[in-house]
Amino acid sequence: MATEYEYKFRIDPLDLPALNAAFPQESKEIQMETVYYDTPSRALSSRRYTLRRRLENGVSVCTLKIPAGDAREEWETENVFIENAIHQLIALGAPAELQELVKEGLFPICGAKFTRIAKTIPLTDAVAELALDHGYLFGGDRKAPLCEMELELKSGDKGCFDCYVQGLVKEFSLQEEPESKFSRALKLYKMLDSLFAKYDRLMLFDTETTGLTFSRDEIIEFAAVVVERHNGEIVVTREYDELITLSPGSTVPPEIERLTGISNQDILDRGIPKEQLCRDIAQMIAGNTLMLAYNAHFDLSFLFYLLLRNGDPTILKGKDKLDLLTVYKDRHSYPHKLCNAIEVYNLSGKVVNSHRAVDDVLATVEVMKEMELEKADLERYVNLFGYNPKYGISGKAIGSVTYKPQRFDPPEPLYAE
């Protein structure tokens, strides 16, 4: 058994060459691919046990880590198969309960693939290992970039090691990474756990309209994405995007055409009847479905009047609703448009904010995922909408929603008030 005592720091990939050059010691480059395992009931992660199989330049090493105060105890053995390594790890001193915990079977849940540059750093009364890791984490169908520095005490005086690390923090303005690779990769695998524990599916939607007055203006485009989770992966099970016919005498205002690119001719050529849209919406939100949008009060208000005149507005009753704009306002400074969220979450090369409903709803899906990774509290915002206290609630309040005034840069989340 070994006791692991280390520090982790987040690194900007652009700073990696300079950091590598700052430590002149001989380096060793290691190609690493790590897969973390758990049981179907998560018997290991619930105990904060980390069981992994790592390929290090082609050599397969199986490791168990468990908490031990401010450090971690670990055991490792070379083995190609994680199941065969269990008895070897126990023989080396790992907890005997491990054998019982894994009886229901093991399966891969997440992992990491990266290049490590490792260096041995001799200190006055200790020996440290410096590792620069650059690659990605993965879990389910998602990946996240990985770039960090690890400093591990290999032998000698802990105080000497701590003093050395604190000196590096000041010299290079290092930012601590509080979570292990496993914890961060597990978040990718457990994406939207709290929502899917309560709902069978999520329906994210967006509208384009002829104006801003719910009771008078009309929807000209409706787009939606239905999301479910299958075998731990977030899966889009339906994409919907339709232009909608206008009432007799109504037209697309020139400023709306300039903004969206949707013309009166587009509506005439490709628009579907409002009654058909109402039927399609009813089908998409049937069953145990959560409705989500960015600025949901706006879209839901238009949806209500559409259903009131052309369908059945009662289909919205009993449906929980989540406004991602409210979440974003709690976490980030003004401005708060969808385009701002796309920029803050570094999604500009992945999604498009074009003032077309189909693009905006696909962007909203990715914003939602980034919000979940940022802080896993989305379920706390269900049926809780914020509004600007200067202007109040626009139009009629939705009966099933709790509205609270939401100021810029609030000191605590809206749900904590």
Distance CA 176, CA 193 (A): 26
CA angle 224, 226, 232 (to 5 degrees): 150
Q: How far is CA 310 from CA 211, 271, 273, 307, in A?
A: 19, 15, 9, 5
The answer to whether the beta carbons of residues 65 and 6 sit under 8 Å apart is: no
Name the nearest CA neighbour of 188 among 324, 338, 372, 350. Answer: 372
pTM above 0.85, yes or no: no
With tokens 């990946």, the residue in question is 143
Looking at the chain, which residues constitute the CATH 2.40.320.10 domain(s)?
2-189
Distance in angstroms (rounded) separating the CA atoms of residues 330 and 287: 30
Give yes or no for a contact between 210 and 247, defined as CB atoms under 8 angstroms apart.
no
CA–CA separation, 146 vs 139, rounded Å? Answer: 13
Q: Which residues lie across from 229 on neighbouring strands?
A: 234
What is the architecture of the domain spanning 2-189? Beta Barrel (2.40)
Every domain range in the chain assigned CATH 3.30.420.10: 193-416
Q: Are 294 and 206 in contact (CB under 8 A)?
A: yes
Count other C-beta atoms under 10 Å from residue 121's C-beta. Answer: 17
Backbone angles phi, psi at 153, to 5 degrees: -80, 115
Domain range 193-416, its CATH number among 3.40.50.9100, 3.30.930.10, 3.30.420.10, 2.60.40.10: 3.30.420.10
Owner of token pair 């930012």 = 175
Who contacts 394 (Cβ-Cβ below 8 Å, separation ≥6)?
214, 297, 298, 301, 387
Per-residue pLDDT in tens (0 to 9) along the chain, 417 residues: 677 899 999 999 999 999 999 999 999 999 999 999 999 888 998 898 999 999 999 999 999 999 888 778 999 999 999 999 999 999 999 999 999 999 999 999 999 999 999 999 999 999 999 999 999 999 877 889 999 999 999 999 999 999 999 999 999 999 999 999 998 998 888 878 889 999 999 999 999 999 999 999 999 999 999 999 886 678 899 999 999 999 999 999 999 999 999 999 999 999 999 999 999 999 999 999 999 999 999 999 999 999 999 999 999 999 999 999 999 999 999 999 999 999 999 898 888 877 888 899 999 999 999 999 888 899 999 999 999 999 999 999 999 999 999 999 999 999 998
Cβ atoms of residues 367 and 341 within 8 Å: yes
Q: How wide is the angle at C-alpha 195 spanned by C-alphas 194 and 197, nearest 5°?
A: 65
